[in-house]
Structure 1
Amino acid sequence: MVALLSRRQNWAKASPVLGIAVAVWLCMTFQPSQAIFWALVNIPLYLFHQTEEHFWPGGFKDYINHVLYELPDGEERLTDGKIFWINIIFVWIAFILFGLLSLYHLGFGLLIITFSMMNCSTHIEQAIRRKRWNPGLVMASVQMLISIYAAYFISTYGLTDKASWWTGTILFSAVVHIILYRFIMP
């Protein structure tokens, strides 16, 4: 089953449907005047971001392998299997977990926001450095702007002990990204 879902990023075909479903649920359950809305807004945004990266086979994988790593055709460092596990474990499962924990404390929503902002910044930085589009850039740009507002909103209207949560979420997000780049995508 995992082989079928990971081959040619078949799992990503669920991303736009899940993104729409989560966005509808979010809008029906919470209001933009509530901090929890902004704590969770990155969940559907990230699903749309994954759609841009992976919905069409190739995309992000080809960009990483052939543009970033400059590998010849036929060679891969980032495989369909790695992409599957990165996105299912580090995004889908983690965002569900931290989304649920956000209902307990908004700081976990800040974690979703800071993780998303770090990911978005890598897409934006690559576009600036390479002077070209990369799969995920459009949604990363939109998501970054919304994330900045979301971080401001929950920090201002609902987050207690801001310094501790900001420090913790930035450190956690940085460590996760380092693990991704050092050990999973070497």
Structure 2
Amino acid sequence: MSDLLHRIADGWQKTLPVLAVVGAALWLVLFHGAPASEQAMFAALLVIYMVHQTEEHLWPGGFRPYANAHVFRSGRDDWPVDEGGVALVNIAWVWAPIGLAALFPETLRWVGLGWVGLTFVNALSHIGTTVRFRGYNPGLVTSIVIFLPFTIWVFAAEYSRGALSGLEIAGLLIAGVLLHVPVAALFVIPFRRKTPALV
């Protein structure tokens, strides 16, 4: 089992270009008639995230060493932001909830919308990191070019058709911040304790 988990942690990012292309093709087939439905939005978010993850972890990549060098200044390329933790976050905390919301858009509507909020906040965090360290960080380009326009469009579209109120959008943005807390804790706690990450 541990060998399987290691292979997943080591290779998940190599599947991203194929998954993104296949996902985009399926989206065009399934949602060309209703591209602004919530189900279409959630499905698009999953594909968009795969493009973003490609920039972070494959081409040009370098998210882990960047975070360890600039954010944590740990002196190590793979700690506290390690291979296993990054795979866990991107598969379990991103793909799973967004994918489930796309499959069950009515039951998990607020999950999908919460992850739209998370995506908006993620984009702002990349921009903030660039301002703080005055240089490119892996994920910046897709944050500006894809994440921000897409999430703003989702909130604007939902608001214009009465599916979300201004107060609900504000709550989703707060949720986007709070949903980053478990991700940060996964790496910050081992760093503070100076122990290896849990995964």
TM-score category of the 2 structures, normalised to the smaller one: 0.7 to 0.9
Q: Aligned partners of 2:52 and 2:66: how far apart in 1?
A: 15
Alpha-carbon offset, residue 103 of structure 1 = 4.8
1:145-171: per-residue Cα shift (whole Å, max 9, x none)? 2221122112223625x3564355334
Alpha-carbon offset, residue 88 of structure 1 = 1.0
Identity %: 24
Q: Which runs of 5+ in 2 are unaligned?
A: 189-199
SS state at 1:134 partner: coil
Alpha-carbon offset, residue 71 of structure 1 = 2.1
CA RMSD in angstroms comes to: 2.4
2:127 partner letter: I
Paired residue total = 182
Q: Which residue of 1 aligns with 2:84?
A: 81
Q: Which residue of 2 aligns with 1:11?
A: 12
Structure 1 counterpart of 2:161, from 157, 166, 173: 157
Alpha-carbon offset, residue 75 of structure 1 = 6.1
2:37 partner letter: A
Mapping for residues 17-36 of structure 1, pairs under 5 Å: 17-31=18-32, 34-36=36-38
Q: Aligned partners of 1:105 and 1:77: how far apart in 2?
A: 32
Alpha-carbon offset, residue 104 of structure 1 = 4.8
Q: Which residue of 1 aligns with 2:131?
A: 128
Change in CA separation of 1:167 and 1:97 when aligned onto 2, cut-off 3 Å: farther
Matched, 1:42 2:14: no
1:98-132: per-residue Cα shift (whole Å, max 9, x none)? 22232557544422321111111111111122110
Structure 2 counterpart of 1:147, from 148, 151, 157: 151
Mapping for residues 59-70 of structure 1, pairs under 5 Å: 59-70=62-73
Change in CA separation of 1:78 and 1:104 when aligned onto 2, cut-off 3 Å: same
Q: Which runs of 5+ in 1 are unaligned?
A: none
1:124 partner letter: I
